[in-house]
Each structure stands twice: as structure tokens, then as C-alpha cells.
Amino acid sequence: MIVHHPRTRPEPWSVYCARAWWKIPFFATEYISDWAVYWLSNWSFLETLEYLSSLSVLIAVIFYFAGAGDRLKQKHYQAWQVINTAQGKGGSGGRIEALQELANDKIPLTGVDVSGAFLQGLQLNRARLMRADFHNADVRNGSFAGAELVDSTLAGANFRNADFQGATLRGADLTDADLTGANLKDADLTGATLENAELRGADLSNIQWANLGSVKMANLDDVKNAASEFLAWAVQHGAIQGSAQHSSAKVK
């Protein structure tokens, strides 16, 4: 804020002229300017305008923060619009950014339908994705660490090298899903279905597999850190270990 101080009255013109006659044109300009500043500095209206200008900035800041909630809602609405408009289409259609934006703002993605979408590298750590539909989607190298995928449909989806560490996949349908090289460490697979799923090279350390659904034809070749009890149970219920065996079983 500019602080206004009343100026002193300018010297008489005769004093200006006495300094040097050849400088009179320059002194005239300065003399007029001094009088203008003198009169304006004593005009309270200008100081009032300065205060009003500062007040308007303060009001603008207050309204900006007051409208933050509405802007956030608008942002979320636009993200959902992107997701819903692209539903059923094969490309990304901006859905990667929209999904990540909503998840980062802790918005539940319950029942979201991104089936068949191209979503490579999608980052939805700790996202709430209950009953979500990812069937036939391409989500290679995606990350769902700590995410809630209860009762979600992931059938036929490509989750190669995806990260599901600590994810909750209770009751999820992973039929025909490609989980090659995926990280399923500490994942909860209670009641999930893994029929015909590809789990080659997947990390299965400390998975919860109580009441696991069908594992028929699931490929457990080269899985890492799997409990011997799980492997024995899975093979007994139709899972396959060994690429050659898996291939011949599929041909049948």
C-alpha cells in the first residue's frame, strides 16, 4: 500500500528562475510537476481510492477461497464426465488422468466401468474400486497397491507386471486375467476366481486365499514365494504348473 504524505508547498517561480537562466525550460517542467504533486498529495480522494484498491484485492482473495469447494466439485464432475463419455470405447480417452485425479482426491470409484479400455501404467494406489469393471482392459504396468477391488470384474484383463501389493481382491473375478509377473504380495484373494488366469512369475508371498474360487487351468509356472500349501491345493483343484503341461491342458 502506498502511504501518502502531504508535500510541502513548492518554492516561488522567481527562486527557480534565479538558479540559471538557460535551465528555465527544464525548471518550468519541474515547477509544474511540483505543483501537481503538491495539490494531488493533499487530495484525500486519491488516498481513498488506494485503500479501496487494497480492499478489492482482499475481497477477491476471500471469494477465491470461499469458492474452492465449488471448483473442486466442478473438477470432479468433469473427470466423471470424461470417464462416462468414453465408456465402452477401446482407447484411453483421457480416463487415465481422470481416474487418477479422482483417486488422488479420495473420491470412491465404486462401480466404475472401464472395460476394454487402454489404461497402461494406470496408478490407482489405495483407490476404492469396489465392484469396478475392468474386464478385457489393458492395464499393463498399472499399480493398485492397497486398493480395494472387492467383487470387481477383472476377467480377461491384461495386468502384466501390475502391482497389487496389499490390495483387497475379495470375491474378484480374475477369470482369464493375465497376471504375468504381477506383484500380489500380501493381497487378499479370499473368494476370488482365478480360473484360467496367467500367473507366471507372479509374486504370491503371503496371499490370503481362504475360500478361493475356481483355479482350474490357472498357470502357476515360476510363481514366486507361494506357500507350498497353496500350490498343493491349487494343483489338486485343477491349476497347472509347468508351461508345457499348461499348454497341453489348454489344447484339450
CB-based burial, 198-230: b 16+ in 10 Å, e otherwise: bbbbbbbbebbbeebbbbbbbbbbebeebeeeb
C-alpha cell at 251: 489344447
The whole-angstrom separation of Cα 102 and Cα 66 is: 21
The whole-angstrom separation of Cα 230 and Cα 199 is: 13
CATH topology for 91-252? Pectate Lyase C-like (2.160.20)
- Residue 250: pLDDT above 50? no
Write down the pLDDT at residue 46.
Answer: 61
Write down the pLDDT at residue 67.
Answer: 61
Coil, helix or strand for 49? helix
C-alpha cell at 177: 486375467
Name the nearest CA neighbour of 194 among 167, 222, 169: 169
> SS in 3 state form for 87-151?
CCCCCCCCHHHHHHHHHHCCCCCCCCECCCCECCCCECCCCECCCCECCCCECCCCECCCCECCC
Mean pLDDT of 224-236: 96
Report residue 105's pLDDT band, with 50, 70 and 90 as the boundaries: very high
C-alpha pair distances (Å), 224 with each of 180, 221, 247: 11, 9, 20
- The count of residues in the chain is 252
The whole-angstrom separation of Cα 119 and Cα 86 is: 12
Domain boundaries, the chain: 13-66, 91-252
Beta bridge partners of 204: none
Condensed to tens digits (0 to 9), the pLDDT of residues 14-43 reads: 665 655 555 555 556 666 666 666 666 666
Write down the pLDDT at residue 179.
Answer: 98
Do residues 129 and 152 touch, judged by C-beta distance below 8 A? yes
Condensed to tens digits (0 to 9), the pLDDT of residues 119-165 reads: 999 999 999 999 999 999 999 999 999 999 999 999 999 999 999 99
What does residue 72 show for φ and ψ, rounded to 5 degrees?
Answer: -65, -40
